[in-house]
Each structure stands twice: as C-alpha cells, then as structure tokens.
Chain A
Amino acid sequence: MTRWLLPGFLAVGVVATLVLIVGPALYAVSLSFYEIPSLTADPVWAGFANYAEVLGSGEFWSALWNGIVYAGLAIILQVVLGIGFALLLNQPFFGRALLRGIAFLPYLLPTVIAVLVFKWMVDGSLGIVTITMDDLGLPPIYWFETETASMVSVILISVWLWTPFVTTTFLAGLQTVPTQLYEAARVDGAGPVRRFFHVTLPSLRPILTVIILLRGVWMFNKFDVIWLTTGGGPLGATEHLPVLSYRMAFKLYDIGSGAAVATLSFFVLMIAVTVYFRVFPIEGGK
C-alpha cells in the first residue's frame, strides 16, 4: 500500500499541474498566434502578426517600463521597511507578541477590501484623510490626480499590503541566526550597524534572495491593485503588462494580441529570473 502512496501523490500533483497550469498556459500561448475578436468567434491563423503589432506599439514598451517602475520601487520599499520592522520586532519589549500579530494583519486582508478601504479613506469629498487634513488646515492630497501621484499611490498600497510578508519571513530568519555570532562581533567592537551588515545580512542572504525573487515575480504580475485603483490610468501612467493584456483581450476584443502581451510578459519575467539567479545564486549564501 505505502509503496503506491508516493507515486500516487506525485501523479495527482502532476495531473493537477498539467490540467490547471500547463494546459491553460499553453492554450494562452496558442491564442497569441490567432486573430480572435471574441471568445466565441472562430480563430483565424495570424502567425506572428500579433507579436509584431504588439512589439511595434508604444503601449507595450510603456507598459513594460511602468511594470518595472511599479515592481522595482514596491520591492525596494517592501524589503527595506520589512527588514526594518523585522529588526524592531526581534527586540525584546512589552507587547511584542501582540505587535507581531498586528504587523501581519494587512497581509491577511483581501486586496479588493484593502483597495476599497484606501480609496474611501482618501476620497476627495468624504474620505477621513481628506476631512482630517481639512480640519487641520492642510491642503488636500491629490492621490490619483496626476500621472506621478497615481503611480506613487499604487506603490504605497502595495507596500502597505505586502511589507508584512517580508517582515514575517525575515523575522523568522532572524531567529535562526546563532547568537554567538553577534556576541563574537560585539567582542570585536562591532556596533549595531556593523553587526547588521556583517552578521545579519550575510546570514540571511538566501532568505533575502528568495524574498526578493518571490516579491518581484508577484509584483510584476500583480493585476488587482492597479486595476481596482487606477485601471491603468491616467493616460496609461500605471498601465503595466498584465493590465494591458487584460484590456486588449477583454475590452478591445483582441484576444490574440492580449495573449501575445501575456506571453511576452512571461518571457520577460523568465529572462529576469534567469539573470537574477546568475547574479544572486542561492548557493552563494551557504
């Protein structure tokens, strides 16, 4: 019985992966070679025409750049703040356990709720932030009123939602660093900053590498925050590749081009991950 258990579980995993991930992915790639005005229309073979059209349009390159800016800045802030909070929560103080729990809360919020709450809080007429600032005699903040402000706002929401993931993961890692290393560094006269850069960071490099990788992939593919807040606007300022793909496929009735954008996005990400592993091999941390 037990000798069939492992192959059995493996088979279930392989079948689930094939049916739920590989199959749809290949189907999406195949769609990119057809001209399809809707999901119910008969596809017409288009070869690489969709790719040529997409790569020749300014929208694609603009969306790629927006995605890099959005993902890049969000990751930097998430990692810097996440590590900072983790270091803080690793110190002994009264109420630490409670604060650790609270710090993780934003990560538990469904994105749609977080985004709606944020939008209501900063609503130009009725938002609590707007009203409070007005009461204090401060001018209103135009959260989504310019191209730059919109990008900053979607980045801030992303940082608020996903910094707790970095904090929690890094905090778990911090607790595995042998205390002897810190003691030895202290004996050698290293202050907190030097201890962080010479003991903590090198010890947690593998964890940090994985955190940045995961957050990078997730942020680059993140659709909901941008779609729910700005829809990619204003004037395409926050439109990145997932939003462009969705808009082309489901709003402009061009499923082939939408699929081409999604496929190109996948390749861009694959190249980025390959380069990342070359530059920061996980084995290097051992």
Chain B
Amino acid sequence: MTDMKTRRGMISRRQALKGAGGLGAGLALSGLAAPAVHAAGGQPIRFLNCETGKGTLAFFTDAAKEYEEKTGREVIVDSVPLGESFTKITNGIRSGNPYDVANVGFIGHVLLLAEEGQIVPLNELTDEYEWGNNILFPLDDKVYWYPFDYNLALIYYRKDLYEKGGLSIPTTWDAFASNCEALVDGRQKGCLFPIGSNGASNWMSFAFMWAEGVKIFDDQWNVVLDNDEMKPRVAAYLDFMARLHETMPPGSLQASYADVLSNVVAGTVGHGAYAGRVIESAERDNPAVAENLGIMPYMDSAGQQTAASHGYDGWVVLDTPNTGPSMEFMRWLTTEKMVDFLHTAPVHFQPTRLDIYEDQRWRDHPMITKYATEIETMRRLVTDPSVIVTSIDTQGPEPDVRPGKVFESFAMPEMLQEKILRGTDSAEAVEKTAARIRELIA
C-alpha cells in the first residue's frame, strides 16, 4: 500500500478516499434532492402489471411515458407473472411500500384485500358502464376491482377435421366424446383437458360440470357436491372425463396452460380448451390451423345447457397516500387507453365492458375483424343469461374466500385423478372430495 502511495501516476489512498467521499456526498445530496424533484410531479404511482405479453409490456411503457408528459406524474410499472402478483402485493403492504395499483387474477385475493381494508371501491370508475354477466363481484354494492378481460375458457375444435370426418357440432357429452374418439388417428389425439393439480385443470376441465348444473355450495355455504341432487351429476361427469381421457395424449396429468396451447396450435389434438390466445398464437405460428379453429361452449349431458369457465383479470387500487392520483390515472387508463390496451392481445383480452364491443376503434383491429364470428360467439356467451359463466373460485351465493380455498387446494382436479388414475368408483370419488372441501373451509 505504501508503494502505491508514492508511485508516480498511481492514485494515492488519500486521493482515493477523497474521491470516494466526494462521490458519496454527491450521491447523498442527489438522494436528498430527489424528494424535491418528485414533489414537482407528486409521488410516483407504482403500478404492478401481470400481463407479460411483449405488446402489453410495450403498451405500459408508452402509457406511463405519455401520462407523465401529460400530467407530470411519474408512473412506475413493475411486471411479474400473475402467479406472483398476490405475494408482491402483500409484501409491498407489509414492507410499508405498497403498490398503488395492482393487477390481480383471482377474486379470492380481491376479497382478502377488501376485507382487510387494503383496497378502495372503484364504483366511480365502474358505475358508468354496462358490464357482461357475472364479472364485477360487488361486495355490499361496492365494486373493488376493475375487470379488464374475461379470459373465458372455451372449447376449440378443428373445423377441417370435423368436415373431413363428417362430424357435427356436439351438444351432448356423448356426442362430444364420440367426436373425440373419431379424431384419434396415430399421433393425432382426440382432445386435451388437463387433469393435474394445477390452475390449468381448474380453469379448463370443469365447465362440463357447470353446464350440467353442478354447484359446490348451497346458499348457506353448505357443501352440496355430494347431496342427492349433485352426486349423480358429478359422478356422471367423472365417467365422461374418464372416457375423454382415453383420447388424450400422454401427459394430460401434467398439462399446463402452455402444453394445451401448444398442442392445439400444433394441431396434435382435435379439441382443446383455452381463451383467445389460441387464435393469436396459431395466427403467428401455424396460420393453417388458425384458419380452421372453431369455438364452442362446454355442453351438458342432455344438450340443454352450455357453460364457459371464468379466467378473468382486473386491477385494484390500494388504499395508500397516493390513492387520489392513482384513481385519476385509472380513469385515464380505462377511458382513453382502454382500447389500445385491449388491442395488445386483441382476441385474448375479451372485453368485460359491453360498450367496447360497439366501439368502432376496437372493432377495426385486423384480428378482431378477421375473427368476427368467434368474437361474436364470445360476446354472446357473456350476455346470454342462459349461458353459465362460472368457475371453482366463484362458486357459492356471493364472493367469498371459501371457494378460493377449494380452487387453490386443487381438490377438484384431485377428484379427477381419483377417478382416472386410481380408478376409484365415481360416487366414492365425489364423496371423498366433498369431505375434503368441508375440511378445507371448516
């Protein structure tokens, strides 16, 4: 060290210390000055985004910039996968540095945050619009989230294969299973509905049961899955799914969202469930399949009712010192920028607000124009009161955390596994599942 100090051309320790000290002082002063800089445009709005598509990320970058230019208010957008959203939100609250606006994809989380007084009602943003069926989930007339898409899980089928095989659109379970069996041809399989303990199974595989009129809870939150009315229906659903499983490719037990998407887009299955992302991915990666994709709702056993499975997403505004400016930002986002946002995934982000379906600017997007028939079917599903739009986590007489626990426990996919993997008698599998649900919500 002494050598260094005396050597010509080298920085001495004293000089290094002085330099470091100066740098530190500069950083400290700039840090002290930072609040003054921020004060000019107010406290930045911290926005947690969970839509991680390339176009959507670019949209938020541009929107934040535009909003700052327009109002002087900085918007900081953090993006994480949806699965990490709730942990990020609660960690932010716990650490005293909460997000001001956050993206949630699970009504149970909205309810938890509302019950704890962590989020504010958004009626001033939602009341002025007409909404599709079963999407706002108000609590005592207060709406705590701004749903921006339905993400309904629907059945996608191959129109070309139907035509080639002389098949018609099925309206009963038996007809659907027969079509799946008819489409098995070598490596091509009949269908793919996940049966593993994951969110994909919860989302994609139970709407057949909802179409059959099955309910997990009655109006008093009693578990009725195994009562005299429901048990035969659920048992019949399990028998039907076991039949479908015979036509699925190996791996349905672990099939994730991505697996189902890639199988449908690659054309290796005749039927699969998903939301509009299928069309967007097929259009990009396999246009021949995209042109031949048709959609249908889930059907019941007798051809009387249809259903679609919820997969909604929305935004919540947290109760922070920045709530006022955050509401202003949300008003701007949901009015001036809503169509631009929805266009980042034009078919996948199925609008929840009915006025958007009439908005010419939204309709003018090439993908929406091209797939107008499919879009119209999707719209009908959320406006026709005879179509059952529900999911495991929205079961019950009102929004509640209890169905959320059933969703997260994967009790329902495990009922499928009991039947399909272990060969358990269907009625017994229903009874076991009902008992487990009672234990979960006790």
**Residue positions of A touching B, CB distance < 8 A:** 37-41, 119, 122-127, 130-131, 134, 140-147, 150, 229-235, 250-253
Most buried by B among A122, A131, A144: A144
Known: A38-B112, A126-B263, A253-B405. A230 touches B254 (CB 8 A): yes
Most buried by A among B249, B251, B262, B410: B251
Question: Are A235 and B90 in touch, CB under 8 angstroms?
Answer: no
The answer for the CA separation of A274 and B409 in the assembled complex, in Å, is 35
What is the chain A residue whose CB lies nearest that of B407? A251
Known: A38-B116, A119-B254, A232-B197. A147 touches B269 (CB 8 A): no
Contacts of A143 in B (CB 8 A): 250-251, 254
Contacts of A251 in B (CB 8 A): 408-409
Sample 16 A-B pairs with CB under 8 A, ordered by A number.
A37-B401, A38-B112, A39-B91, A40-B118, A122-B251, A125-B251, A130-B250, A144-B196, A150-B253, A230-B254, A231-B196, A233-B413, A234-B253, A250-B87, A253-B401, A253-B408
Give the residue of A37, A126, A141 whose beta carbon is less than 8 angstroms from that of B268.
A126
What is the chain A residue whose CB lies nearest that of B404? A253
Contacts of A233 in B (CB 8 A): 196-197, 253, 410, 413-414, 417
Contacts of B259 in A (CB 8 A): 123
Report, nearest first, the 10 A-B pairs whose CB atoms are least far apart: A124-B251, A124-B250, A233-B197, A39-B90, A251-B408, A124-B249, A125-B249, A125-B268, A144-B254, A140-B250
**Residue positions of B touching A, CB distance < 8 A:** 87, 90-91, 93-94, 112-113, 116, 118, 187, 189, 192, 196-198, 249-254, 259, 262-263, 266, 268-269, 401, 404-405, 408-410, 413-414, 417-418, 421-422, 440
Contacts of A126 in B (CB 8 A): 262-263, 266, 268
Contacts of A144 in B (CB 8 A): 196, 251, 253-254
Contacts of B401 in A (CB 8 A): 37, 253
Give the residue of B90, B197, B262 whose beta carbon is less than 8 angstroms from that of A231.
B197
The answer for the CA separation of A134 and B189 in the assembled complex, in Å, is 14
Question: Are B268 and A252 in touch, CB under 8 angstroms?
Answer: no
12 extra interchain contacts, Cβ-Cβ under 8 A, other than A39-B93, A41-B112, A125-B250? A123-B259, A124-B249, A126-B268, A143-B250, A143-B251, A144-B196, A145-B250, A230-B254, A234-B196, A250-B87, A253-B401, A253-B405
Question: Are B408 and A134 in touch, CB under 8 angstroms?
Answer: no
Question: Are B421 and A229 in touch, CB under 8 angstroms?
Answer: no
Most buried by A among B189, B252, B253, B440: B253
Shortest beta-carbon distance from A123 to chain B in Å: 6
What is the chain A residue whose CB lies nearest that of B94? A39
Contacts of A234 in B (CB 8 A): 196-197, 253, 414, 417, 421
Contacts of B440 in A (CB 8 A): 252
Question: Are B90 and A40 in touch, CB under 8 angstroms?
Answer: yes
Contacts of A130 in B (CB 8 A): 250
How many CB-defined contacts (below 8 Å) exist between A and B? 102
The answer for the CA separation of A72 and B272 in the assembled complex, in Å, is 39
What is the chain A residue whose CB lies nearest that of B112? A38
What is the chain A residue whose CB lies nearest that of B266? A126
Shortest beta-carbon distance from B21 to chain A in Å: 18
Question: Are A145 and B90 in touch, CB under 8 angstroms?
Answer: no
Contacts of A232 in B (CB 8 A): 197
The answer for the CA separation of A150 and B87 in the assembled complex, in Å, is 28
Question: Are A235 and B254 in touch, CB under 8 angstroms?
Answer: no
Known: A40-B93, A40-B116, A125-B269. A235 touches B421 (CB 8 A): yes
Contacts of A142 in B (CB 8 A): 250
Contacts of B90 in A (CB 8 A): 38-40
Question: Are B409 and A252 in touch, CB under 8 angstroms?
Answer: yes
Contacts of A131 in B (CB 8 A): 187
The answer for the CA separation of A206 and B249 in the assembled complex, in Å, is 49
Shortest beta-carbon distance from A155 to chain B in Å: 16
Shortest beta-carbon distance from B301 to chain A in Å: 26
What is the chain A residue whose CB lies nearest that of B416? A234
Question: Are B196 and A252 in touch, CB under 8 angstroms?
Answer: no
Contacts of A250 in B (CB 8 A): 87
Question: Are A125 and B189 in touch, CB under 8 angstroms?
Answer: yes
Shortest beta-carbon distance from A119 to chain B in Å: 7
What is the chain A residue whose CB lies nearest that of B405? A252
